[in-house]
């Protein structure tokens, strides 16, 4: 069966990232008196950020790791920081060739969607800055706060399928740069689950996750569909 829908992650996959997300998350967690390394944060990259924050607090033995109010406070700190970064930083840009890949897929009749561990507020700023929606390159966007559970659960992919009237997950490809992306695509049952090795995780790290392909650039994705 041919691919009818390609679902891409955002930060590190389609959006250039130099540990910007990890650095802001590191700052957010530090406001609760918890010091975490970038490597520790990278372990939870791709997951819904409230989940990631709670996980990091638990790993460090924070006594209020189960306190929803604290997790929400730290998440709001993170959201504010990321919105400011994506709205104002001159370094915000799509990864090389992303728009051309989206255009090529759409010419093939393949719908293009984004899903992310960010919430809608952050994602809206990114979409405005990149112009992907205004340029007609994206058919659907789903964020982790709009489903019961984010990655590794498959619900964002299923919601996108529902919105775009894609009947079979065997016609869906998932592309991302984290283990959680690979788990999400695999749990959904996607025909293609491709890890891109130029994001948060190295090729060696991604090889440990469930996948059908590993690619060094999105151009390579065009050759496997």
Q: What are the backbone angles phi and psi of residue 139, rounded to the nearest 5°? A: -90, -25
Instruction: Give the domain-ending residue among 44, 73, 88.
Output: 88
Question: pLDDT value at position 133?
Answer: 86
Q: What angle do CA 13, 16, 19 make, to 5 degrees?
A: 95
Do residues 178 and 143 both lie within one domain? yes
Note whether 76 and 102 are same-domain residues. Answer: no
Segments in 108-166 forming alpha helices (H): 120-130, 155-164
Residues 216 and 198: beta-carbon distance below 8 Å: yes
Q: Which residue has the tokens 């460090």?
A: 60
Q: Residue 171 sits in which domain range?
A: 5-17+93-222
| Residue 18 pLDDT | 86
Q: How many CA atoms lie within 13 A of 5 on its CB side?
A: 26
The domain boundary, picked from 52, 72, 88, lies at 88
Report cis status (omega within 30 of 0) of the bond before 41.
no
CATH (domain of 183): 3.40.50.1000
Within this chain, do residues 152 and 126 fall inside the same structural domain, yes or no? yes
Specify the number of domains making up the chain.
2
Do both 35 and 126 map to the same domain? no
Shared domain check, 132 and 39 = no
Residue 1: what pLDDT?
A: 55
Last residue of a domain, one of 88, 120, 147: 88
**pLDDT by residue, tens only, the chain of 225 residues:** 599 999 999 999 999 998 899 999 999 999 999 999 999 999 899 999 999 999 999 999 999 999 999 999 999 999 999 999 999 999 999 999 999 999 999 999 999 999 999 999 999 999 999 999 888 999 999 999 999 999 999 999 999 999 999 999 999 999 999 999 999 999 999 999 999 999 889 999 999 999 999 999 999 999 999
Same domain, yes or no: 115 and 207: yes
Same domain, residue pair 106 and 215: yes
For residue 123, what pLDDT is reported?
97
Which contiguous run of DSSP H or E holds residue 112? strand 111-116
**Residues 13 and 173: beta-carbon distance below 8 Å:** no
Tell me, yes or no, whether 12 and 38 share the same domain: no
Give the DSSP letter string of 60-89.
TT-TTTT-HHHHHHHHHHHHHHHHHHHHH-
Whether 196 contacts 177, CB under 8 Å = yes
């Amino acid at each position: 069966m041919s691919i009818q829908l390609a679902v891409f992650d955002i930060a590190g996959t389609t959006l250039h990232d130099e540990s910007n997300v990890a650095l802001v998350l590191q700052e957010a967690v530090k406001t609760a008196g918890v010091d975490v390394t970038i490597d520790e944060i990278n372990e939870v990259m791709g997951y819904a950020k409230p989940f990631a924050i709670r996980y990091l607090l638990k790993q460090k033995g924070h006594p209020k790791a189960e306190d929803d109010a604290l997790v929400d406070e730290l998440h709001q700190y993170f959201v504010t920081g990321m919105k400011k970064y994506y709205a104002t930083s001159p370094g915000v840009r799509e990864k090389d060739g992303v728009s051309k890949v989206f255009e090529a897929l759409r010419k093939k009749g393949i719908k293009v969607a984004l899903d992310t561990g960010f919430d809608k507020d952050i994602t809206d700023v990114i979409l405005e800055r990149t112009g992907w929606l205004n340029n007609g390159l994206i058919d659907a966007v789903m964020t982790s706060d709009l489903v019961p559970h984010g990655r590794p659960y498959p619900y964002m992919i299923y919601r996108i399928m529902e919105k775009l009237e894609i009947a079979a997950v065997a016609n869906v490809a998932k592309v991302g740069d984290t283990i959680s992306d690979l788990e999400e695509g695999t749990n959904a049952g996607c025909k293609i689950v491709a890890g891109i090795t130029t994001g948060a995780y190295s090729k060696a790290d991604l090889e440990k996750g469930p996948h059908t392909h590993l690619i060094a650039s999105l151009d390579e994705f065009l050759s496997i569909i």
